[in-house]
Amino acid sequence: MVASDALAMLQETDQFIELNDGELVTLTADQITIENAAGEQLDRAPITVTIDAADAEKGTFPFYMLKEISEQPAVMRRLVSRYVDDAGTPQFDSAMLSALAAADRLYIVAAGTSYHAGLVGQNLFEHLAGVPTEAYLASEFGYHQPLLSAKPMFIFLTQSGETADIRQVLVNVKQAGYPSLTLTNVITSTLAREADYAVELGAGPEIAVASTKAYTAQVAVEALLAKALGQHKALPLAAAFDVAHQLSLAATGQQALIDQQDKLHELATEMFAQTRNAFFIGRGTDYYVSLEAALKLKEISYVQAEGFAAGELKHGTIALIEQDTPVVAFITDPITAARTRSNAEEVEARGAKVLRIASAALAEPGDQLIVDDLDPMLTPLLTIIPGQLLAYFTSLDRGYDVDRPRNLAKSVTVE
Ligand code: M6R
């Protein structure tokens, strides 16, 4: 059997033989022959893929997406027990940490949802590990490479590990001799194999096209890695940041939101049942989560949704606000909360239907949804849950196939 992803054959086998670029495989009923471009026969041992086929089942959930949203608290807890030692320090390969510590700038290269997780990661690496960090869209970076620093290191962030836009950047990075690390959910994937280092996201198989638990796992692993790197560099801020506690608070807060599914269904109907467009606004990490919440709504409910930096509305986009235009405002950053609130009031005054999602310490009467308090760098771990569930219920109400939206594939293996 031949497939582009191990998940497609898990019901049949856990033994897989990988093929590299330029190789030719001939399958007969009883033989597999692999040759390189020069016609030489290659001997390649199979690898064992350790994904439990049962993890790839839907169970009692109506859609994979709802199952995967519901698994997020367990993923947070699993990542803590997998990566954090008894002293509260995340443990990663020391050669990899030394390579990261030697870099004068980190370049996070990713696409779609993973890019949005990379934007959240910028703050974490800069704040906890003291290293300038920038997130880039792989499809842009590949052809318009910025001026690189003297000692760059590349972090490829990818659920599938097969995204072609990212792969072409990795090929160039390797040719140039720069060090690379892939953070991926599929540790046997091409991008994991080809980078110098690889770290597993450990979210478990993600089947729904809309990425959910991989996003929160990416943010959590970035936090773990940033803390480990900061401690490797003996930075006091990293030592003081209790990442295990934060992730366990995140797990509890996520569960509280998942338990409010009925309310979120009502809000989804109220906000998005009739609309053709919608806006998500916030500042800082709330802006980054706005981008991701908008992408979720777009891809599975086909509502034209945009994520905006709240302060940018007045520079043009506010012209689109009409009576009943849905606007979701994320308010979790103490530094900018008052300003985002005033942006929400500005659109409300022009007729918008505003849904305010605020963290407990910043909540005000009239806010429709409250999320638990968390370090402001990590609030997307909570605020994206209503973003995911609002998209899920909107798609459901409109009668679409939530797991398999039109025109999209799970692994995007073309540029
Ligand atoms: O597998 P990757 O994380 O590299 O995929 C990147 C994007 O194609 C992916 O995140 C896409 O945006 C999601 N399916 C959106 O939910």
Residue 163 CB less than 6 A away from ligand 1: yes
How much distance in Å is there from the Cα of 178 to the middle of ligand 1? 24
Q: pLDDT (tens digit, 9 = 90+) per residue, 256-298?
A: 999 999 999 999 999 999 899 999 999 999 999 999 999 999 9
pLDDT range class, residue 409, cuts 50, 70, 90 = confident
How much is the pLDDT for 21?
83
CA of 388 from ligand 1 middle (Å) equals 14
- Establish whether residue 188 lines the binding site of ligand 1, counting it when its CB lies within 6 angstroms of any ligand atom: no
Q: What are phi and psi of 386, to 5 degrees?
A: -60, -35
Ligand 1 centre to CA of 113 (Å) is 5
Of 392, 82, 371, residue with least CA distance to 254:
371
Domain residue spans in the chain? 6-50, 64-254, 260-397
- Tokens coding 105: 């700038």
* Structure tokens, 328: 């979701």
- Please write the tens of the pLDDT for every residue from 147-196: 999 999 999 999 999 999 999 999 999 999 999 999 999 998 999 999 99
Residue to substitute in 157, 188, 211 for testing ligand 1 pocket (most ligand atoms within 8 angstroms of CB): 211
**C-alpha–C-alpha distance, residues 147 and 199, integer Å:** 27
Q: Is 218 in the pocket of ligand 1 (CB under 6 A)?
A: no
Q: Which two tokens stand for residue 222?
A: 């970035």
* pTM confidence score: 0.94
Tell me, what's the pLDDT at 57?
Answer: 84
412: Cβ below 6 Å to ligand 1? yes
* Fold topology of 260-397: Rossmann fold (3.40.50)
Percent residues over pLDDT 90 in the chain: 85
Contact 308/279 with Cβ under 8 angstroms? Answer: yes
CA angle, 196 as apex, 80 and 246 as ends, to 5°? 20
Q: Is 333 in the pocket of ligand 1 (CB under 6 A)?
A: no
pLDDT tens sequence across 304-341: 999 999 999 989 889 999 999 999 999 999 999 999 99
Q: Do domains 64-254 and 260-397 have the same CATH topology?
A: yes
Report the separation in Å between the CA atom of 410 and the middle of ligand 1, taken as the mean of its atom positions: 7
User: Residue 28: is its pLDDT beyond 90?
Assistant: yes
Radius of gyration, CA atoms only, the chain:
22
Helices 112-129, 285-301: crossing angle, 10 deg rounding: 170
Q: Which CATH architecture is the domain 64-254 placed in?
A: 3-Layer(aba) Sandwich (3.40)
The predicted pLDDT at position 210 comes to 97
pLDDT for 50:
80
Question: Rounded to the nearest whole angstrom, what is the distance from the C-alpha of residue 137 to the centroid of ligand 1?
Answer: 12
The rounded Å distance from CA 411 to ligand 1 centre is: 7
